[in-house]
Structure 1
Amino acid sequence: MPHIELSNDLPGISGLLAHRKDTGAPLSQLVETLLRGPSPLSRGERELIAAYVSELNGTRFCSASHSAFAAAQLEGGQDLVKSVLHQADTAPVSERLRALLRIAAEVREEPHPVSDAALAAARAEGAGDTEIHDTVLIAAAFCMYNRYVDALDTALPAEPGYYTEAARRITSQGYVNSKAAAGSTD
């Protein structure tokens, strides 16, 4: 049971965003920009970074949601995502993405500069300043989102198909325009 009384019965961050639209709107816009705005990283890669950080943080709702969103947008689908979440160092992803996942993992560990070794590895695999910037910002933002969801002990979805339906909605409509962002479950 959530630690606060919500004005809706939506699971995870969806319920929090709908409950406080004044704070929910900018948080939704931030995730829209980070995961769907212009970037040299594909939408699927950015969703995968969000899922990976959420998995490392143990935030079940965010990990499952962004895993579904990544799987819907990456060749290899759910098998690829599961491989990254369970063993990023051997998952069948590009060396560039693997290096960026290492950067994301460093960001979520504790607040300190990303190591020179992680930066050098990412640059050696072709990651430029924008990819590194976007990776760091996604990882940092998802540490915040994960803490928001977990600290208030939000509910997990009751419906087994929730994440699949949410993935369809988010990949086609985005975070700001989707019914989930508006607080509707229709």
Structure 2
Amino acid sequence: MPHIALSNDLPGITGLMAHRPDTAGPLGDLADALLRAPSSLDPGERELIAAYVSRLNDTEFCSSSHGAFAAAQLAGGQELVGAVLADPGTAPVSGRLRALLSVAAEVQNAARPVSDEAIALARAEGANDTDLHDTVLIAAAFCMYNRYVSGLATELPKDDEYYNHAAQRIVADGYRGGILQED
């Protein structure tokens, strides 16, 4: 049961955003900028980073949501997402993405500089400054989003199919346009 009385019965961050549209707007804009705006990382890769950080933070709603959003945009689909969430070290992803996931894990772990070793490995695997910037910002932002969702003890969807429907909306309409729509 959520720690606050919500004006709706929507799960996870969707319920919080519907309850407070004044904060939902900036949070949706940030998610759109991080996960959908032009970048050297594909949207599916950015969603995968968000899902991975959310898994590390034990935030099931965000991990499942962004995992579904990544799966909808990556050739490997849900199988690839599951492999990354289980063990990015052995998942069938590029060395560049694997190294960026390692950078994201360091950001998730503590508010301190990412290690020189992780940055050097990412660069050796082909990551550029934009890749590193975006990965760090996605990881940092998802620590905030995860704490928002978990800190207020939001509910999980009653049906796991919710995530697939949400993925269709997000891929088509983005976070401002798709996250608050109901099926």
| TM-score clears 0.5 | yes
Q: Extract unaligned runs of 5+ from structure 2.
A: none
Q: Which residue of the partner structure matches residue 82 of structure 1?
A: 82
Q: Which residue of the partner structure matches residue 93 of structure 1?
A: 93
Quick one: distance in 1 between partners of 2:176 and 2:30? 9
- For the residue of structure 2 that corresponds to 1:113, the secondary structure is coil
- 1:160 Cα deviation after fit: 2.9
* Offset from partner CA, 1:32-75 (integer Å, 9 cap, x none): 11000010000000000000000010000000000000000001
* Offset from partner CA, 1:127-165 (integer Å, 9 cap, x none): 110000000000000000000000000000012310010
- For the residue of structure 2 that corresponds to 1:132, the secondary structure is helix
Give TM-score scaled by structure 1 length.
Answer: 0.97
Q: Which residue of the partner structure matches residue 31 of structure 1?
A: 31
Q: Which residue of the partner structure matches residue 56 of structure 2?
A: 56
- For the residue of structure 1 that corresponds to 2:9, the secondary structure is coil
Q: Which residue of the partner structure matches residue 21 of structure 1?
A: 21
Alignment: residue pair count:
183
Quick one: distance in 2 between partners of 1:85 and 1:33? 23
What's the RMSD between the two structures over aligned residues? 0.7
Quick one: distance in 1 between partners of 2:129 and 2:182? 39
Quick one: distance in 2 between partners of 1:111 and 1:174? 29
Percent identical residues: 66
* Offset from partner CA, 1:160-184 (integer Å, 9 cap, x none): 3100100111111111111x33xx4
After the TM superposition, which segments of 4 or more aligned residues of structure 1 sit over 3 Å from their partners? none
| Counterparts of residues 142-153 of structure 1 (less than 5 Å) | 142-153=142-153
